[in-house]
Amino acid sequence: MSKMNLLQAVNHALTTAMEQDPHMVCFGEDVGHFGGVFRATSGLQEKFGKDRCFNTPLVEQGIIGMANGFAASGTTVVAEIQFGDYIFPAYDQIVNETAKFRYRSGNEFNVGGLTIRTPYGGGIAGGLYHSQSPEANFTHTPGLKIVVPRNAYEAKGLLLSAIRDPNPVLFLEPKRLYRASVGEVPETDYEIPLTVADVVQEGKDITLLAWGAQIEYAEKAAAMAAKDGISCEIVDLRTLLPWDRDTVAASVNKTGRLLVTHEAPITSGFGAEIAATIQERCFLSLEAPIARVCGLDVPYPLALEKEYIPDQYKIYEGIKRTMNF
């Protein structure tokens, strides 16, 4: 075991996968000698050569288009989009090609060997164009898997699983945690199964459901609620598409209450899908309406970032409202 931050864990996963697969490539904007804007790919070009780790132009649709071509030819590919905010020029390539190429071609062109890495979310004073959480734009796309780690241990295990999964995966990395999340990570190869949620903390009064950086806020809110005698169960979804309905439903059937929190704006956020599904499956167990504590329906502000973020204080207030319903 070694102490790593989330960035180092991502780098370790990429190194492990490239050592095992001599044909695997990774590319994106500045990922070569520079190591990427956050240095997630530092040292990979020096270790594996310019043919396997290389820079691309600042053309997101070109990055994913080329990645689709590599993957369709049988190559394992990890493509980096420098910021999740700038993934939208590649939206057509991801939604209409990455997710559907296998089906359109009768599996003649299978792009399941593609993993798309991108940092997402706020917390670094990035303002409007470097802070967005675009997950809900892609959870409506069958054919993709969408994965979000909450710490360094998950980052390595989930990324290795994503790279080896036979489906294309969008791997969203919470940039606020890149250097802030530090923990023990095995130096050996290991995988964390996709599509399986993790019960981070057991409780009996209310279920708090989150993913990525929001788990930290949920844990802090749960500690505040515990002082009031409220027992919170915390569930880390890990995989958003397809998501683990059974684990979430089992938790809500036990606690009778659910609060979903995510950083993306509340309207049409993925929390709405979760709320709709759980009220169908757990209606007779619910003691209160399902609560959502999410980002605001405004472009992500720079000066008012702290007011925008659905932090532990907002989650704590949501817990109290739900418990007192």
Is 130 labeled as catalytic in the residue annotation? yes
Q: State mean pLDDT over 196-212.
A: 98
Strand order in the sheet with 291-295: 198-201, 232-236, 206-210, 258-265, 291-295
On whether the pTM is more than 0.85, the answer is yes
SS3 (DSSP) at 241:
strand
Per-residue pLDDT tens digits for 24-44? 999 999 999 999 999 999 999
Q: Which of 29, 60, 216, 219 is catalytic?
A: 60
Q: CA separation (Å) from 214 to 55, 147, 188, 209, 235?
A: 32, 14, 28, 9, 11
Per-residue pLDDT tens digits for 239-270? 999 999 999 999 999 999 999 999 999 999 99
Per-residue pLDDT tens digits for 281-301? 999 999 999 999 999 999 999
Give me the count of residues in the chain.
325
What are the φ/ψ torsions at residue 136 (nearest 5 degrees)?
Answer: -65, -20
Q: CA separation (Å) from 312 to 95, 214, 246?
A: 34, 9, 26
Q: State mean pLDDT over 309-313.
A: 98
Q: Report residue 276's pLDDT band, with 50, 70 and 90 as the boundaries.
A: very high
Would you state the pLDDT for residue 244?
A: 98
Would you state the pLDDT for residue 102?
A: 94
Alpha carbon 244 to chain centroid, angstroms = 14
What class does CATH assign to 198-323? alpha beta
Strand ranges (E), the chain: 2-5, 25-28, 53-55, 77-80, 114-120, 145-147, 169-174, 182-185, 198-201, 206-210, 232-236, 239-241, 258-265, 291-295
- Check for a shared fold between 2-185 and 198-323: yes
Would you state the pLDDT for residue 325?
A: 96
Would you state the pLDDT for residue 123?
A: 93
Would you state the pLDDT for residue 53?
A: 98
Q: For 58-109, give the DSSP string.
A: S-HHHHHHHHHHHHHTT--EEEE-S-GGG-GGGHHIIIIIITTHHHHTTTSS
Q: Which of 12, 80, 97, 130 is catalytic?
A: 130
Would you state the pLDDT for residue 93?
A: 98
Would you state the pLDDT for residue 292?
A: 98
* CA dist., res. 233 & res. 244, Å (int): 16
Per-residue pLDDT tens digits for 130-171? 999 999 999 999 999 999 999 999 999 999 999 999 999 999
Q: State mean pLDDT over 67-73.
A: 97
Q: Report residue 73's pLDDT band, with 50, 70 and 90 as the boundaries.
A: very high
Q: State mean pLDDT over 96-122.
A: 96
Q: Number of C-alpha atoms within 13 angstroms, CB side, residue 49?
A: 7
Say if CB 120 and CB 132 are below 8 A apart: yes
Q: CA separation (Å) from 80 to 16, 41, 162, 233?
A: 17, 10, 14, 34
* CA dist., res. 17 & res. 7, Å (int): 16
Listed by start position, the domains of the chain span 2-185, 198-323
The fold for domain 2-185 equals: Rossmann fold (3.40.50)
Q: What is the mean pLDDT of the chain?
A: 97
SS3 (DSSP) at 216:
helix
